[in-house]
A and B are shown apart, each in its own frame.
Chain A
Amino acid sequence: MEGYGSMRRVYFDHAAAMPVDPRVAETMAPYFTEIWGNPSSLHSFGREAKEALEEARKKVADLIGARKKEEIIFTSGGTESNNLALKGVAYRNREKGNHIITTRIEHISVLNTCKYLEKNGFKVTYLPVDNFGSIDIERLEKEISDKTIIISVMYANGEIGTIQPIKEIGKIAEDNGVYFHVDAVAATGKVPIDVEQEHIDLLSISSNDMRGPKGIGALYVKTGKKLEPIIHGGGQEGGLRSGTENVPNILGMGKAAEIANNEMEEMGKRLTKLRDKLIQGILNNVKYSYLNGHPTHRLPNNVNLRFSYIEGEALILNLDMMGIAASTSSACTSKTLEPSHVLLAIGIPHAEAQGSLLLTLDKSNNEEDVNYVLEILPGIVKRLRTMSPLTPKDLEV
Chain B
Amino acid sequence: MEHFRNPRNVGEIPDADGVGTVGNPMCGDIMSVYIKVKDDRLVDVKFKTFGCGAAIATSSMITELAKGKTIEEALKITRRDVADALNGLPPIKMHCSNLAADALHAAIQDYLKKKAQGKPNQ
Contacts and interface: CB of A to CB of B under 8 A. Distances in A.
Given A311-B28, A351-B25, A317 B53 contact: yes
Nearest to B23: A389
Interface string A305-332: 0000111111001000100000000111
A1 interface: no
Given A311-B50, A313-B53, A314-B52, A389 B26 contact: no
A7 interface: no
Given A331-B27, A331-B28, A332-B96, A389 B50 contact: yes
Chain A, interface residues (CB within 8 Å), range: 20 to 34
Interface residues of B, number: 25
Nearest to A393: B12
A317 B4 contact: yes
Interface in A362-387: 386-387
B52 A330 contact: yes
A152 interface: no
B103 to A, nearest CB: 10
Contact of B56 (A314, A333, A337, A390): A314
Given A386-B10, A387-B7, A337 B52 contact: no
A311 B51 contact: yes
A145 interface: no
B32 interface: yes
A350 interface: yes
Residue among B21, B31, B53, B92 having the largest count of chain A Cβ atoms under 10 Å: B53
A354 B25 contact: yes
Q: By DSSP majority rule, is chain A's interface helix, strand, loop, or mixed?
A: helix
A170 interface: no
Contacts of A317: 4, 52-53
A389 B31 contact: yes
Contact of B52 (A321, A333, A339, A390): A333
B48 interface: yes
Contacts of B83: none
B78 to A, nearest CB: 22
B3 to A, nearest CB: 12
B49 A350 contact: no
A311 to B, nearest CB: 5
Nearest to A310: B50
22 contacts: A309-B50, A311-B29, A312-B52, A314-B52, A314-B56, A332-B29, A332-B52, A332-B55, A333-B52, A337-B27, A337-B92, A337-B95, A351-B26, A354-B25, A354-B28, A386-B10, A387-B10, A387-B48, A389-B31, A389-B50, A390-B25, A390-B30
Interface of B: 4-5, 7, 10, 21, 25-32, 48-56, 92, 95-96
Given A314-B56, A332-B55, A337-B92, 18 more contacts: A309-B50, A311-B51, A312-B52, A313-B52, A313-B53, A317-B4, A321-B5, A332-B29, A337-B27, A339-B28, A354-B50, A386-B10, A387-B7, A387-B48, A388-B50, A389-B31, A389-B50, A390-B30
What 4 A-B pairs have minimum CB-CB distances, sorted nearest first?
A: A313-B52, A332-B52, A351-B25, A331-B28
